[in-house]
Structure 1
Amino acid sequence: MNLLNEKVTHNVFGKGKIVNQDESIITINFNENIKKFVYPDAFGTFISLKDKDTAESLKKIISKKEMEEKALEKKREEKKKQEALEQQRIQQIKDHKIHESSQIAFWLDENEQQNIFTDWQVSTGKIQSGPNKGQPNRAARLRPNSAALLTARGKNQAETERQILGLYMVNETFAGNLSEDGMVPAHADFKIKLTDQEAEKMLFWNYYKSKNYPHRTTWNSGKYRYFDNVWTAQILKDIIALKTDEEEIKEIKNFLEYFSKMNLLDIDNIPEACGALKQ
């Protein structure tokens, strides 16, 4: 707002006229006594404009600026709060010995795709070399807080088209490092199967991201890979958004609440997915 040559009154210096102005400073001449003030902060506190219309317009500008500053301060406070909560979560994870990537994503073969939603258990496969060759793999990070993500892609599909077919919480008594047969059984209550149409919308690489190569969408070899706890929560939230049946939505919300509790996640502050396909 242009205030050059506007007449003003100061609480101490008396009457004067604005002789210079930039974005943050105004210069006022009080009978050859030149003073500088912060703009627009000084108005309404120390300085008043003589022209009523100009004063009213400036009042609106000041009010808008104050609202913007309050909104900015609120954002800063919210950010500090979120950072504090995240630090608290990280500390709780350390205290409770919860690994930040204690979820597991399986690559299901055709036979497993046919049986998984009946058997509700998946094999971690066998060790391929070394003195323990042929013995079952032990997914040592898996605990009762872990979920098993079920993924697959067609023979003629690109890796970027890998779909999430469903997921389940592992059995509440399961510990991967103690598993003798390499099977990862499901929890009795927390299991999700997606329809073909839903699976097409739930792409694995929308969530998974390599720390070293965030744009890379390569599975290479291996029956499974570990998966971030937060990513699993993102998947559950997105599945809730896909569903239309109220009973299914209720069940998946219960799943998400249980999962968040077991992994010490703030269910109201799950970030948006930013996997390799979203980079």
Structure 2
Amino acid sequence: MNILGQAVKHKKYGKGVITNLSENSITVCFSESQKLFQFPDAFPQYLTLKNKSVQTKIEKLNEERFREIEERKQRMDRENKYRNRMYTMKILQKSQVAYDILEKDIVNLDYIETGCLLSGEMKGRPRIPSNVQPNSAIILTDCGNGGEDERCIIGIAMAGEYFWGKECTDKQIKLHEKYKLLLSYENRISFWKYFKREAFPDQWGRVPFKYFQNQTMQKIIFDICSKAAGTEQEEELMELYSYFCSVNRIQEKAIT
């Protein structure tokens, strides 16, 4: 915006003319002095333009600038709170999730449903996924056209980086925008390789998700990464594995 030569008025110095303009400052020549002001900050707090149209444009410029500053401040505050919360986060021993889902429902999946409580005084109310935190990984499992013996890990995702299960009231575990992946057929692996059947009763249709140990999840992701070596999904899976180990404060094992 070129405002050189524009007439202005200052509350103390009176009338003047803008004689120089840089990226963030202007020089105003008054009858008895020459002053330097921040631009556009000086409008309208100290300076008022004679040209009302240009004055309005500068005020809008100021509004946009203040809004950007406020948004940047809010973003920094949110990031600082996130870092502090992650730093003090207690890693629960069973904060990983196995989820029952049909493969056709994974396309563009942004969240998984927690379902409702099935009994007791709270029956029918949303199930609170209290153990799910940003360090939680979710393995997506499906039996395909077979029975329970054919249950397979067909996808893997991390919980959203700002998701805290204890605060969830909408029956939705938000998934991470980046770390979620539908596994190719060659990289899928049997679910029952890692769990005993008696630990997972056949109630997947009624209770869609189940918790399990962090170490077991590390083993699952490690094995999937090893299986995916040399495939198109290798890089994405390795990034997910590194992220998982980082947020769970687990030593990352080299995959050979």
- TM bracket, shorter-chain basis: 0.5 to 0.7
Q: Is the CA contact (8 Å cut-off) linking 1:243 and 1:249 kept in structure 2?
A: yes
Structure 2 gaps of 5+ residues are 1-87
The 2-side partners of 1:162 and 1:140 are apart by 26
Please, what is the CA RMSD of the aligned residues? Answer: 2.3
Q: How far is 1:126 from its partner? A: 1.1
1:121 maps to 2:121: no
Q: Does 1:107 align with 2:89?
A: no
Structure 1 gaps of 5+ residues are: 1-94, 210-214, 271-279
Task: Report the alpha carbon displacement of residue 130 of structure 1 after superposing the two structures with TM.
Answer: 2.5
Question: What aligned pairs does 1:76-155 form with structure 2 within 5 A after superposition?
Answer: 96-108=89-101, 110=102, 113-154=103-144
Once the two structures are superposed, what CA deviation does each residue of 1:38-97 show, in whole Å capped at 9, x if it has no partner? xxxxxxxxxxxxxxxxxxxxxxxxxxxxxxxxxxxxxxxxxxxxxxxxxxxxxxxxx842
Among 194, 199, 202, the residue aligned to 1:207: 194
Aligned CA distance change for structure 1 residues 216 and 229 (closer, same or farther; 3 Å): same
Residue identity opposite 1:116 in structure 2: I
Contact 2:135 2:159 in 1 (8 A): yes
Aligned equivalent of 1:183: 172
Q: Which position in structure 1 is the counterpart of 2:34?
A: none
* Corresponding position: 1:170 with 2:170: no
Q: CA deviation at 1:241?
A: 2.1
Q: Is residue 2:212 matched to residue 1:227?
A: yes
State whether residues 110 and 177 of structure 2, in contact with CA within 8 Å, keep that contact through their aligned partners in structure 1: no
Cα pair 1:107 1:224 within 8 Å, conserved: yes
8 A Cα contact 2:106 2:182, kept in partner: no
How far residue 206 of structure 1 moved from its aligned partner, in angstroms, is 1.1
Distance (Å, rounded) in 2 between the aligned partners of 1:258 and 1:218: 27
Q: Post-superposition shift, 1:244?
A: 4.9
Residue equivalent to 1:36: none
Distance 2:119 2:181 in 1: 34
Counterpart code for 1:206: K
CA distance in structure 2 between the aligned counterparts of 1:195 and 1:169, rounded to whole angstroms:
18
Q: Is the 8 A contact 1:164 1:203 kept in 2?
A: yes
**SS of corresponding position for 1:128:** coil
Paired residue total:
165
What is the percentage of aligned positions where both structures have the same residue? 30
Distance of aligned partners of 1:261 and 1:160 in 2 relative to their CA distance in 1, 3 Å threshold: same
- Which structure has more helix as a fraction of its residues? 1
Residue of structure 2 in register with 1:161 after alignment: 150
- Cα deviation code 1:78-127 (max 9, x no counterpart): xxxxxxxxxxxxxxxxx84211110111111x4xx322231231101111
Residues 189-210 of structure 1 show CA distances to partners (whole Å, capped at 9, x for unaligned) of 11121123432xx01111224x
User: 2:185 & 2:124 partners in 1: Cα distance?
Assistant: 34
